[in-house]
């Protein structure tokens, strides 16, 4: 029973990711005084790409064709182990937060290799920029993970959420810092403004898009879908780690319904925040990204320090 629920939750996750992308797009359009495309537009785009012929560059090796499947599979696996509507699902026990960071790194490795595989200047440029950014984002992400693990006494996501739920509404300075850090990292890792611009057509400014510039058809659909799932993953992590309230704690229909409603609301609100920042900010100059991510790392370190000083030392 629990396993069926876990599978259903994963399907809900990957099925809902394009909807979230559509919602963010809609919010951005409204903020720019434009008419928005339908919420279902990302699904239509995926269907369109899925049906189109895939053109492969002459210089492509197996890495180029394997990467989309690998990146997508890893995205699905990651989605499977992150609690969405209910905690304590058996799938969440398989792996801890470090494994999660590892999953992200695995997908990125293949994405970067695929960018370089075809030998175009843009692919290599995108890959080099992606690695620069991720090498700065990963330490910050790990600091956040450490803080959480030390507070909750576990590296398992599900158990961590249980801990937060059980301890009730407590203001922990360490969590405030960690939340700030994770949000900054999420923006960088999902390639959103002000770090990267997912909507640009300017090859020379691209990061994520430059790596997948040569993909078309089904391969591109997988890549797009994977990055939509990744965006939702970060949203769910932020929502369920720091604000886990109303997530389903048993598997009764009422608890699950409540959990579903809660996560939808949380993601919708987080999207407003993202859309606002994307509308208010111009993309930063690429060499500013290190300052931005250093700040994220600093917040992560402060989170851990404040945990040790305020929560361990005085407790």
Partner 1 sequence: MTMGTDSTVKNLVEALRPLQSIGQSEVTRVQSVVDLLQLTIASAAWGDAARIAKSHGARWAGVWADEHVDSFTVSACLEYRERYLLLRASVSGQEPELPSHAPFYQAADRAERHVQDLFGIRFTGHPMGTQRWTRHQAWDEGTFPLRKSFPLQGFMRDTTPSDRDYPFLKASGASVYEIPVGPVHAGIIEPGHFRFQAVGETVLNLEERFGYVHKGIEKIAQGRGPEGLAKLAGRVSGDTTVGHTWAACLAMEAAAGVECPARATYIRGILAERERVINHLGDMGAMCNDVGFAFGHYQFGRLRELWLRENQALFGHRLLMDCVVPGGVKSGLTPEGANGIRRTVRDLRGEVSELITVIDANSSLEDRFLATGVLTVGQAQALGALGFVGRASGQGFDVRKAPAYRPYNELAVIVPVETQGDVASRFWLRYKELRIALRLLEQMLAQLPEGELQADWQTPRTDTEGFAAVEGWRGEILCFVRFAADNRIGRYFPRDPSQINWPAVEKIQTNNIVPDFPICNKSVNASYSGQDL
Interface with partner 1 by CB under 8 A: which residues? Answer: 28, 31-34, 121-122, 124-125, 193-194, 197, 199-205, 213, 278-288
Q: How far is the CB of 227 from partner 1 (least distance, A)?
A: 17
User: Cβ closer to partner 1: 198 or 259?
Assistant: 198
Query: Smallest gap, in angstroms, from Cβ of residue 185 to partner 1?
Result: 19
Give the distance, in angstroms, between the CA of residue 248 and the centroid of all CA atoms in the same chain: 22
Q: How far is the CB of 58 from partner 1 (least distance, A)?
A: 16
Closest CA relative to residue 117, chosen from 73, 62, 68, 74? 62
- CA 51 vs CA 176, 216, 219: distances in Å: 45, 11, 11
Instruction: Please state, in angstroms and as integers, the Cα–Cα distance from residue 46 to each residue in 31, 51, 74, 97, following that order.
Output: 25, 9, 18, 30
Nearer to partner 1, 31 or 255 (CB): 31
Taking the least distance from each CB to partner 1, the nearer of 252 and 290 is 290
Least distance to partner 1, CB of residue 217, Å: 17
Q: Between residues 33 and 168, which has the closer beta carbon with respect to partner 1?
A: 33
Question: Minimum distance from CB of 225 to partner 1 (Å)?
Answer: 21
174 in Cβ contact with 304 (< 8 Å): yes
Least distance (Å) between residue 33 CB and partner 1: 7
Burial 99-118 (b: 16+ CB within 10 A, else e): bbeebbebbbbbbbbbbbbb
Distances (CA, A) of 198 to 79, 180, 216: 21, 22, 16
**CB of 201 vs partner 1, minimal distance in Å:** 4
Residue 267, token pair as written in the block: 């993601």
β-strand partners of 86: 248
Closest to partner 1 by CB, 73 vs 205, is 205
**33 or 315, CB closer to partner 1?**
33
Q: Which is nearer to partner 1, 135 or 167 (CB)?
A: 135
Scanning the structure block, which residue is given the tokens 């879908």? 225
Q: Do residues 239 and 270 lie in contact, with contact meaning Cβ atoms separated by under 8 Å?
A: yes
**Helices 41-51 & 2-31 angle (0-180, nearest 10):** 110
């Amino acid at each position: 029973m629990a396993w069926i629920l876990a599978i259903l939750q994963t399907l809900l996750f990957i099925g809902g990711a394009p909807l979230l992308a559509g919602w963010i797009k809609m919010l951005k359009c409204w903020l720019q005084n434009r008419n928005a495309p339908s919420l279902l537009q990302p699904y239509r785009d995926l269907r369109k790409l899925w049906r189109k012929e895939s053109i492969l560059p002459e210089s492509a090796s197996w890495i180029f064709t394997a990467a989309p499947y690998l990146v997508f599979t890893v995205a699905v696996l990651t989605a499977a182990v992150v609690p969405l509507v209910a905690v304590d699902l058996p799938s969440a026990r398989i792996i801890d937060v470090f494994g999660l960071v590892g999953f992200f790194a695995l997908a990125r490795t293949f994405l970067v290799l695929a960018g370089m595989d075809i030998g175009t200047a843009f692919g290599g440029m995108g890959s080099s920029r992606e690695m620069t950014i991720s090498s700065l984002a990963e330490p910050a992400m790990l600091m956040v993970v450490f803080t959480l693990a030390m507070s909750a006494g576990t590296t398992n996501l599900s158990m961590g959420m249980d801990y937060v739920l059980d301890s009730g509404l407590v203001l922990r300075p360490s969590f405030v810092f960690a939340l700030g850090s994770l949000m900054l990292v999420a923006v960088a890792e999902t390639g959103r403004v002000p770090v990267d611009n997912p909507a640009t057509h300017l090859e020379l400014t691209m990061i994520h898009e430059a790596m997948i510039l040569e993909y078309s058809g089904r391969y591109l659909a997988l890549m797009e879908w994977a990055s939509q799932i990744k965006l939702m993953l970060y949203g769910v992590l932020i929502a369920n780690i720091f604000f886990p309230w109303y997530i389903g704690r048993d598997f009764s229909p009422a608890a699950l319904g409540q959990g579903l409603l809660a996560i939808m609301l949380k993601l919708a609100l987080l999207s407003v925040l993202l859309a606002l920042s994307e509308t208010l900010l111009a993309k930063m100059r690429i060499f500013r990204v290190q300052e931005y991510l250093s700040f994220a790392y600093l917040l992560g370190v402060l989170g851990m320090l404040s945990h040790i000083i305020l929560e361990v030392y005085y407790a």
